[in-house]
Chains A and B, each alone.
Chain A
Amino acid sequence: DTEVTQTPKHLVMGMTNKKSLKCEQHMGHRAMYWYKQKAKKPPELMFVYSYEKLSINESVPSRFSPECPNSSLLNLHLHALQPEDSALYLCASSQELNTGELFFGEGSRLTVL
């Protein structure tokens, strides 16, 4: 299994809603990442987990809250988002932190109304 699975594929939410994005991989990778990608732009790193420990990217607003329940799962909790947060959210994993190939999921396309 060489897949990174993300759910949901599409999400529409209001600015007062609370929702979560989920990511799962069963490749035994110990590093997992959240990237944000706006249309026609490159992916931008948001958060990194290595061995279920968070490395914080301080430029990410607190309305985004990551969680890594175990080595296979990664969540991104969303609360009080703004319309400018609408984007494709990509999850990726790699064998170890900052080493080797990134395996990307298909992404969750988020629209904030």
Chain B
Amino acid sequence: QQPVQSPQAVILREGEDAVINCSSSKALYSVHWYRQKHGEAPVFLMILLKGGEQKGHEKISASFNEKKQQSSLYLTASQLSYSGTYFCGTEPETVDRGGADGLTFGKGTHLIIQP
């Protein structure tokens, strides 16, 4: 089942902060975050596993609330290079680890950073 991302789009000035949310109706094993720029392949940002851990990568960090089946991606002091579409991908807890279920991506959040 496809996770729900919000907001659909965000427009920021350089240096401002943003939060992108991802929620699922299923119990989750993991949440992945990817960024895709126009005409390019998705690029991995981070993965969060069941356990509610928070991860960071430069000025981009994420949290995973396994009780609420929600993950949030935090972009602080945004840079022009952060522009793109952000996708969360989720793996349900009950996924057949030997099967074809894999990641299901949300519809994406389009982030525009203006100078």
Could you tell me which A residues sit within 8 Å of B by CB distance?
33, 40-45, 47-48, 50, 55-57, 90, 97-98, 100-107
Give the residue of A97, A98, A105 whose beta carbon is less than 8 angstroms from that of B41: A105
Interface secondary structure of A, over-half rule: loop
Partner of A104, one of B2, B41, B104, B106: B41
Interface size class of B (residues with CB under 8 A): 20 to 34
Residue pair B102, A33 in contact (C-beta under 8 Å): yes
In the complex, how many residue pairs between chain A and chain B have their CB atoms under 8 Å apart? 57
Q: Chain A residues near B102 (CB, 8 Å)?
A: 33, 45, 48, 97-98
Contacts of A43 in B (CB 8 A): 42, 87, 105
Given contacts A98-B101, A100-B47, A101-B47, A41 and B41 within 8 Å (CB-CB)? no
For residue B45, which residue of chain A has the nearest CB? A101
Binding stretch for chain A, among B11-19, B57-65, B74-82, B90-98: B90-98
Q: Which of B31-61 contact A (CB under 8 A)?
A: 32, 34, 40-44, 47
